[in-house]
Each structure stands twice: as structure tokens, then as C-alpha cells.
Amino acid sequence: MSTRLTPSQTVGPFFGPALIRASDGRMADGGTRGERIVIEGRVLDGAGAPVPDAMIEVWQANAEGRYDHREDTQEKLLDPNFHGFGRAGTGASGEYQFHTIKPGAVAGEGVALQAPHINVCVFARGLLHHLMTRIYFPDESAANSADPILNLVEPERRATLVARDAGKSSPRILRFDIVLQGDHETVFFDV
């Protein structure tokens, strides 16, 4: 147990000028390897109302499934054109958007692979501590069924962690709504 940690406090409503730059939602450029995707969705509160003052941060592996971090020692290529971090504020209708690539599978415990996923951190006025969740992919049902983290979630709630294909488009658009509270509450993780 830790004893001296600095406690968390809410990000409040006025973080935008300090934290949000429009370019932080564009994580891939022309040289980035992998399948181009757009992740978009809305943040909704317990009354179903949009949350227009949230900030979403994402952290993901590259198309090979490697994180750009010294502790990821998997024998996979780094991509000099992809670093894996993105940040976006929500708009008036609670919407957010990231332009990125689909990550590869990364190592789990032992020999098990984790299904491709994007790690998500949610901040907002009214959240005294940020929320952590993950975005999984709808075209990875076999990998998702074997994923060690998804398998910790009651089966009936797993769908809240899987993005939906928003129909044919290029680049591919995946919808991922984040519901803070209520019957369709997104699964959040104690990390």
C-alpha cells in the first residue's frame, strides 16, 4: 500500500485552453503504417444528456502491436510516424473524435496475447478521479473472446467496450460512446 500519494482532484470546467489543442486528436500522419480508422463517439451522463466539457485521452500500440515506450521490449518494429497518444475535448453535443490506426495485438500475461485495444482515460467536471476504460474492435470476435481483460467483465456488459462499425467509409469510422452512468453505463476499470 502506498502512503504518500498525491490525491486526485477534478479537472473542473476550465481546462480547455491549457490542455486541448485540435491537433492532439490526429495521431496518424501520411507515413504511419496500418489501417486508418476514425474513432468517434459521445460522452453521455446518467440522464442521457451530452457531456460537453469532458476530455478523452487515448493510448495505444502501433499497427504491429508495440507501444512506443522503453518498457515494451516485444520484438516488433517501432513506427517513427506513430507515438500512440491522443487527446480530445468533447463538443457541445458531447462528441469527440480521433484519427488513428488500428493497433495490433499486444502481449498479455505469459504467452497470451491481448486483443487489439485502445486504452482510454476520461476526465470531466464532476469526476473527482479520472475513469479508465478500453476500446475493443468489432471485427476481432475471436481475439476478444480470448482477451484476459474482457474476460474479467460480466458477459452482458462486454458490449459496452466494443466499438461499432458506422457503415462503409474510408477511412473506416468506429463509434464508441462513453456512458458515465445508468443502465448502459460503460465498463470502467480499476487500474
Residue from 83, 86, 81, 70 nearest 25 by CA: 86
Q: What is the nearest approach in angstroms of another protein to the Cβ of residue 107?
A: 6
23 lies in the site for another protein, by CB under 8 A: no
Q: Which of 32, 67, 98, 100 binds another protein (CB under 8 A)?
A: 67
Q: State the nearest-atom distance from the C-beta of 20 to another protein, in Å.
A: 10
- Position among 28, 37, 39, 51 found at the interface with another protein (CB under 8 A): 51
Interaction of residue 84 with another protein, rule CB under 8 A: yes
Contact 84, 28 (CB under 8 A): no
Residue 16 CB contacts under 8 Å (≥ 6 apart), including other chains: 53, 89
For 78-154, strand residue ranges (E) read 85-89, 95-101, 106-107, 113-114, 117-124, 131-136
DSSP state of 160: G
Residue 113 touches another protein, criterion: CB under 8 A: no
Q: Binders of another protein: how many residues, by CB under 8 A? A: 70
- Asked if 19 touches another protein (CB under 8 A), the answer is yes
40 with 177: CB under 8 angstroms?
Answer: no
Instruction: Give the H or E element holding residue 59.
Output: strand 54-60
Task: List contacts with another protein (CB under 8 A).
Answer: 1-19, 45-47, 49, 51, 53, 57, 59, 61, 67-69, 71-72, 74, 83-85, 106-109, 114, 117, 119, 121, 123-132, 134, 148-149, 152-153, 180-182, 185-191
